[in-house]
Structure 1
Amino acid sequence: MMHSRTEYLAAGANRHPSTADWDISGLLAYGADRNVALWRPQSSDGRGLFSLLSGHTDTVNAVKFVPETQGLLLSGSVDKTLKIWSKDSLTKQYSCIQTLSDHQSSINCIAVSSRSSGIFASGAADATVKIWSRDEQNAATLKQTINITPRFFPLALALSPLASAPESYVLAIAGTKDIIQLYVLDSQNAAEFRLQATLAGHEGWIRSLEFTVERFGPTSDLILSSASQDKYIRLWRIHQGKELPAAAASADPSLGAFMPGKSLSNKAHRFKAQGLDFSATFEALLLGHEDWIYSTNWRAVGDKLQLLSASADNSLAIWESDASTGVWVTVTRLGEISAEKGSTTATGSTGGFWTGLWSPSGETVASLGRTGSWRLWSHNLERDRWIQGAGVSGHTLPVAGIAWSKDGDYLLSTSSDQTTRLHAKWKRDGQASWHEMARPQIHGYDLNCIDSLGSSQFVSGADEKLLRVFSEPKAVANLLHNLCGFGGSQIDSMPDAANMPVLGLSNKAIEAVADDEELPPSNHNDRDAIDPASIVHKSTLNLKHPPLEDHLSRHTLWPEIEKLYGHGYEISTLAASHDGSLVATACKASSIDHAVIRIFETREWHEVKPPLMAHLLTVTRLRFSSDDNFLLSVGRDRQWAVFQRAGEGTAEYKLLEQNLKGHSRMILDCAWAPGEGRVFATAGREKTVKIWVRDGEAGFTCRKTITEEHPVTAVDFGDVLMADGRAYLAVGTESGRIRIYALDVKRDFSATEVEVAYPNTYPFPSKAITQLALKPSKKGEGSEMELAIASEDSSLRIYSFDPPSIS
């Protein structure tokens, strides 16, 4: 049996204001595609995600922890279901204990009470809010369905017990209208929530609601915050008593914020619960954001309240009420100042921040940005300022391609989110953890494939007709050398960094500027004008920790050194030879004219003509044998072809053999076994992996067929042959399942599935595997294997297997 360890999990967060929650235990959960990602932001080991919970069949929109429980977690999804997750007290693993399927459309928001009350609410795009009751075993039953009138889709909910009437509850509902509805559960007179007030004043959709008590005590007023797309936050007070609160009675606009033309209505909405009188009144208008406001979050600091807001203007604001005037003002603003907003997506400015969360202690703030990455700020008491720390990042759309560097030091990944990312292990003080260390390419097209050309170059292909070649800059080389302990040679010959022109897609090499150097004025009409937001200062390149999100998106680009032309359609696949001297590419094709394989030599970047012809439709995968003597191609036309090098040292390849009926359905992947091009595997949509062996002059024949339960989408061999003549083959399927086989490549080609003990309950992706990559072995590193897994569920995973033995 193999024992597996999770080395690295990376997945970007879904862009939704309700997608994340931070539990009092320190655990932060967020929706990542159709998974729920678990992370401890304040963990001392610097580790990122430690688990991805799978079970939903569509995007997770809402995540919420239930207070005063042992980490009970609720998640709502576009798949119309609500799931309840419970943590095992012994294994600390989460498992789904119940799935609620009563909604008829996408679930957008979940509300739980500030204390564990046994009830919670969910709102969906079917224009209903459902009230659920939870028993002692945490099983939920539907208690009430609220059909919203006038009809709108709920985007935000807030639930709280009423002051002085703790058995009664108030539920605030808002969404795709500019009103807030207050429903009240009067435990004395009704068993259901009833509409008691409609709060008007906003002029746009309302994206966030949250209750808090004004002060600790059973008779405290409730304060409700509402954040809207009209760029304003409104505060509302729910007061117990027949008399109105002071602010509503005086109608003094200075208690809010005076704006000509804005309605600062002080109309009192009265209702009863448990025989007590209550009123809901407007309290204050908070001004300061320049764009839509997505979320608000309360925090109590002693007897003072603070409100955290996240906005599309790329800032977080912390608000407090001035002690003398009562006016709510911004005391801290985090994020990016207006002058740093760039004109390209490289700066990460479009979309701003989708949610902001307080840590349980209130000393740290986490924010989710448009790139799917998390940023952290922690308050330093001595310096009385907020210091940014390393968060987590990941792709937000399917990961289409991965490639280890030729020496296995780092991993490259490309995705439909139009980014290429470099992942490596940060080593310090006896600890090691994986992080995104660079974002070499931020593109305008979906990226499809990638391969390494050595330790400091790579080539990528996208939904465009050309390939782009990138070379490592000095900034990234120094970073990897200092934090990860590899590289460092030929640094002097590298450019300092790279930049992206405002209107271009090609990264340009630039020199870093001194901190006190004056910068030329920017001209946005110039195609080659440099985005002022991504000019690199020398001081920003010296980091003692993994780069933060703004560093990643601005200062870790790699300069583009070459474009490779020739194809007529979008690039579908590419492969670099093991010595880095050749690049083989193919494009999407529906005819024999375009289903050709083009080879480029990397010394002068010339195409080796004529192109190789064998296929009728799109070539799905290209692989060089370990000695680069053979090139294997497979395609949607169900055939494979093997090309042989025309001679040692030449770049020309000739068709050696092709099989027109290699599989009965399209072939999606292939891989060479370790050795000199004698054995290879092909993966087919008809749920099989075939092992092909070259028997002298007889050519390649199928010697073994491995049958899977689902279409096989990815295969890869380890590059080491065991002493007993076996090689390890990793197989990934459309369902996300991964299996490892020990294949006897010396004698009878028998394949034995290796039993693997995975460290968590949900080790496999929840969508199709797009690519598998076993790390190249290094002398002196022992027998441990590392497997990188790319998936359509936007996750990137690295598992290590040690020791690799056969049961």
Structure 2
Amino acid sequence: MNVSTEYISIGGNRNPAAADWDTEGHQLLAFGADNAIALWGPLDNVHRGVIQVLNGHSKAVNAVKFFSTGSSSKSILLSGSADHSLRVWRCSGDTVEFEHIKTIVEHQSPITRISTLPGSDVFATGASDGTVKIWKLTDSDNFLDLDVELLQTITLVPKFFPLNIALASLDESSIILAVAGTRSTIQIFFSSKNHFNLVTNLTGHEGWIRALDFTRETESNDSDLLLASASQDKYIRLWRVHRGEELPAASSALNDPALGILGNDAKYSLTFEALLLGHEDWIYTALWRHRAGKLQLLSTSEDNSLAIWESDPSSGVWVCITRLGEISAQKGSTTATGSAGGFWIGLWSPDGNCVVSLGRTGSWRKWAYSSSEDMWVQQVAITGHVREVNGLCWSKDGSYLLSTSSDQTSRLFAQWKHGDRTSWHEFSRPQIHGYDLNCIDSVTNSQFISGADEKLLRVFDEPKGVADMLNRLCRIEPTSANLLDAANIPVLGLSNKAIQTVDDDEQVSMANEDEREAMDPASVVRKSTLDFDHPPFEDHLARHLLWPETEKLYGHGYEISAVATSNDGTLVATACRASSIDHAVVRLYDTKEWLEVKPPLKAHSLTVTSLEFSPDDRYLLSVGRDRQWVVWDRSKDSSFSLALSNPKGHTRMILDALWTPVERTFLTAGRDKNVKIWQISEQEVHLRATISANSPVTAVGCSRQIIDDRVVFAYGTESGEVGLCNVPTTALDQVEVFKIAANISPAKSINQIVWRPKREEDGKQQQLGLASDDSSVRVFNITIEKKTV
């Protein structure tokens, strides 16, 4: 079997230090994504999205930084994590394939920030143990042999967490270091022979300091240094480092004893330069860039905006020349989950003509400067879940993929067909909820059902706006004519309500019949809002691409654990978490009237973990934490009765199960590290084969096609390992196992595996969807080679 990665969707970590854009090498953007590092090429016109995920850290990645190599073919990446470790990664050559080189554990607490100095072999790390460490990266020719040497450990007094570190060259022999974080002062260090000494504290901010960045005022190395500092007090302060004993004319240092003349051999003055006002909430990042002969500063804030600042050439006053993102008046009820949660990261592209930002939902936004229009234009970026992805399913015809997660969203992924190219994107966010979502399944091509921690299940119908967009961009034909227009969530509500779209020129009254009640502006969607020729931006996904909710299914007493829809779409089976036989029941609902088919099915004594109908819908298979599997037989009136069970199917709890395309044959997977193949014959069940894994098996998925007289299935484990198996239909005990390479597999437990229903355009290739605890949704291409005798 040949396996390649078709698509990876993964959300970014909410940490201002957890992303960096390489100005050299392949010009990739690296960002922390749960315990891993994701690599994305924002300037890639093919829209491949995330091209590689680097696994290795055991806790969340807090800081990433590219180390300057001065080479177009070499990239060095540094990463720091909550697991206290610093890792060094290297990529060389034309292909993007980063490899892990070295792990250093010197800090006693989570690493919070990494700072490098271009043109130098020195870099610094800060950690929540209240220390900053200065390192030297040594290498042989062409970065083939790397080593890291610790030069100095600075203990911060008084102790605080260093959220920011900035390095800059003062002259040929000395470096300036600025450190700030969970205090309102900035500590300034000068180096002498690679040893840093504290020279002063800069005061003025009134909150924690979230960003520091040095630059030269002009592109000349002799010009003054400027330091930008941004804080939770909503202000950006600029500071000037000037060589010589004369203070700049406009300096206020004469009145401030903390500022003034510093240094040992060469004298420097450090003065307050400017106060930048404009943001309305905490500021997370501030980054300099020389663009088109001008010095500009990029800042991002909790107020959902990204600002570009420039000094007015005549007055010297710093002004905001561009503001991107969302206007603060739109915060609150107009997004499905209230405020979008601010922009946590802002980065310049290597040439300065593109900027990106990361928001609370784990999604990136991207703007490129259009010289012809003299404005910044938003472009397609990438999105992903930010918590464990618990459920995954394909639509009945395999045209799109649905996922659901502990981040309380359900998402729809499909292929954008533009010209002769295709790329995967998130096209809709059908459900944005107030509870963690646990399971999902398609009822029809335009309807799905999901279960959450709120003890009930909700049914959603595709709106006309989404169906038209999928038809236009993905060539997915609408399957239903009578669709609702769109949906929104009322303020303080959990249910998606159907709403109508209105023409652009139509007047809408913002008052109801009762004049005292103002109408929610989010309940009005203009038709032009959903008319675009590209995959939706995060703004669209968070506001306008919800699916209206049409039914709620009650009956369970605890959090929903499993849901399955019959192949003909007429029945839904559900289960909830349970510690007694009273709640460990399987409930059935018909999909015509959405009424419960009673009585509930009783056999299990603990939580039912997985349910599936057989391909002909005659049987229902259920497995649970009580270690047993049960096969239920369907009668003509659609009621089910217990046909077969095995109370000791596995020696530990059974976590997943499903039917194979071979008649009356099913698979079970358990915490005892085994996958078992069972076959029913004449009211008896025979164990045909047992496949052993290296860790507990958490998910199993089987292709519905028999390929070359073989059944093909996959299993996933608690450690993220994925095994592909094929077995002859005539000899179910002869199983061949093929392991997917670790560097393209998830790093955490796999929660669901789903094979894409076969479609004509797929040819010989199969596709496999994977949902994992590492917050990723992955699609793999599987090519199964014909066996030669």
Matches within 5 A, 1:436-475: 436-475=426-465
The change in CA–CA distance for 1:685 and 1:186 in structure 2 (over 3 A counts) is same
The amino acid of 2:261's aligned partner reads R
Say which of 243, 259, 274 aligns to 1:268.
259
Does 2:233 match 1:230?
Answer: yes
1:559-594 residue CA offsets vs partner (Å, 9 max, x unmatched): 000000100111011001111111100001010000
Aligned to 1:143: 151
Say which of 629, 646, 658 aligns to 2:645.
658
Question: 1:314 & 1:112 partners in 2: Cα distance?
Answer: 28
The change in CA–CA distance for 1:489 and 1:90 in structure 2 (over 3 A counts) is closer
SS in 2 for 1:122: strand
Aligned to 2:187: 181
1:368-397 residue CA offsets vs partner (Å, 9 max, x unmatched): 011110001111111111111111000000
Say which of 763, 767, 774 aligns to 1:782.
763
Question: 1:768 & 1:791 partners in 2: Cα distance?
Answer: 6
Question: 1:601 & 1:521 partners in 2: Cα distance?
Answer: 40
> Contact between 2:499 and 2:523, CA under 8 Å: does it hold in 1?
no
Say which of 63, 77, 83 aligns to 1:79.
83
The amino acid of 2:203's aligned partner reads A
Question: 1:707 & 1:112 partners in 2: Cα distance?
Answer: 46
Question: 1:77 & 1:527 partners in 2: Cα distance?
Answer: 53
SS in 1 for 2:387: coil
Unpaired runs of 5+ residues, structure 1, are 252-263
The amino acid of 2:701's aligned partner reads D
Once the 2 structures are TM-superposed, how far is the Cα of residue 90 of structure 1 from its aligned partner?
5.5
Aligned to 1:292: 282
1:537-570 residue CA offsets vs partner (Å, 9 max, x unmatched): 1101111000000001111100000000100111
> Contact between 2:417 and 2:474, CA under 8 Å: does it hold in 1?
yes
Matches within 5 A, 1:567-606: 567-606=556-595
Once the 2 structures are TM-superposed, how far is the Cα of residue 266 of structure 1 from its aligned partner?
8.0
Question: 2:210 & 2:390 partners in 1: Cα distance?
Answer: 33
1:207-228 residue CA offsets vs partner (Å, 9 max, x unmatched): 1101011012232111011110
The amino acid of 1:664's aligned partner reads T
Aligned to 2:129: 126
Does 2:677 match 1:701?
Answer: no
Question: 1:643 & 1:437 partners in 2: Cα distance?
Answer: 37
CA RMSD in angstroms comes to 1.9
> Contact between 2:662 and 2:729, CA under 8 Å: does it hold in 1?
no
Once the 2 structures are TM-superposed, how far is the Cα of residue 526 of structure 1 from its aligned partner?
12
Say which of 332, 335, 340 aligns to 2:330.
340
The amino acid of 1:159's aligned partner reads L
Say which of 622, 632, 639 aligns to 1:633.
622
Does 2:672 match 1:682?
Answer: no
Matches within 5 A, 1:213-228: 213-228=216-231
1:133-159 residue CA offsets vs partner (Å, 9 max, x unmatched): 110233111111110001101001101
Once the 2 structures are TM-superposed, how far is the Cα of residue 326 of structure 1 from its aligned partner?
1.3
Aligned to 2:19: 20
Aligned to 2:93: 89
The amino acid of 2:187's aligned partner reads Q
Question: 2:545 & 2:655 partners in 1: Cα distance?
Answer: 33
Does 2:213 match 1:210?
Answer: yes
Once the 2 structures are TM-superposed, how far is the Cα of residue 530 of structure 1 from its aligned partner?
6.3
The change in CA–CA distance for 1:527 and 1:54 in structure 2 (over 3 A counts) is farther
Once the 2 structures are TM-superposed, how far is the Cα of residue 744 of structure 1 from its aligned partner?
2.5
Does 2:783 match 1:802?
Answer: yes
Question: 1:43 & 1:527 partners in 2: Cα distance?
Answer: 52
Aligned to 2:162: 154
Once the 2 structures are TM-superposed, how far is the Cα of residue 281 of structure 1 from its aligned partner?
1.2
Aligned to 2:142: none
Aligned to 2:344: 354
The change in CA–CA distance for 1:473 and 1:528 in structure 2 (over 3 A counts) is farther
Once the 2 structures are TM-superposed, how far is the Cα of residue 487 of structure 1 from its aligned partner?
1.8
Question: 2:669 & 2:236 partners in 1: Cα distance?
Answer: 55
Once the 2 structures are TM-superposed, how far is the Cα of residue 765 of structure 1 from its aligned partner?
0.5
SS in 2 for 1:626: coil
The amino acid of 1:801's aligned partner reads I
Aligned to 1:517: 506
Once the 2 structures are TM-superposed, how far is the Cα of residue 533 of structure 1 from its aligned partner?
4.3
Aligned to 1:258: none
SS in 2 for 1:346: coil
The change in CA–CA distance for 1:522 and 1:687 in structure 2 (over 3 A counts) is farther
The amino acid of 2:223's aligned partner reads S
> Contact between 2:610 and 2:657, CA under 8 Å: does it hold in 1?
yes
The change in CA–CA distance for 1:563 and 1:640 in structure 2 (over 3 A counts) is same
Question: What is the aligned residue count?
Answer: 777
> Contact between 1:61 and 1:107, CA under 8 Å: does it hold in 2?
yes
Identical-pair percentage: 54
> Contact between 1:201 and 1:265, CA under 8 Å: does it hold in 2?
no
> Contact between 1:182 and 1:198, CA under 8 Å: does it hold in 2?
yes
Does 2:654 match 1:667?
Answer: yes
Question: 1:145 & 1:625 partners in 2: Cα distance?
Answer: 63
Say which of 238, 241, 246 aligns to 2:244.
241
Q: More deviation in 21-30 or 175-184?
A: 21-30
SS in 2 for 1:167: coil
Question: Taking CA–CA contacts closer than 8 Å with sequence separation of 6 or more, which of the two structures ends up with the larger relative contact order?
Answer: 1
Matches within 5 A, 1:348-387: 349-387=339-377
> Contact between 1:343 and 1:531, CA under 8 Å: does it hold in 2?
yes
Question: 1:249 & 1:620 partners in 2: Cα distance?
Answer: 68
The change in CA–CA distance for 1:522 and 1:424 in structure 2 (over 3 A counts) is farther
The amino acid of 1:168's aligned partner reads S
Aligned to 1:254: none
Does 2:41 match 1:60?
Answer: no
SS in 2 for 1:383: coil
Does 2:759 match 1:771?
Answer: no
The amino acid of 1:424's aligned partner reads A
Question: 2:732 & 2:391 partners in 1: Cα distance?
Answer: 33
Unpaired runs of 5+ residues, structure 2, are 140-144
Aligned to 1:327: 317
The amino acid of 2:190's aligned partner reads V
> Contact between 1:620 and 1:668, CA under 8 Å: does it hold in 2?
yes
1:297-344 residue CA offsets vs partner (Å, 9 max, x unmatched): 111124421101000000011111111111111111100012221237
TM-score (ref. length: structure 2)? 0.96
Aligned to 1:169: 175
Question: 1:490 & 1:606 partners in 2: Cα distance?
Answer: 22
Once the 2 structures are TM-superposed, how far is the Cα of residue 781 of structure 1 from its aligned partner?
3.5
Question: 1:527 & 1:674 partners in 2: Cα distance?
Answer: 61
Question: 1:734 & 1:781 partners in 2: Cα distance?
Answer: 30
Question: 1:92 & 1:504 partners in 2: Cα distance?
Answer: 45
Does 2:420 match 1:430?
Answer: yes
> Contact between 2:562 and 2:576, CA under 8 Å: does it hold in 1?
yes
SS in 2 for 1:686: coil
> Contact between 1:502 and 1:530, CA under 8 Å: does it hold in 2?
no
Aligned to 1:717: 702
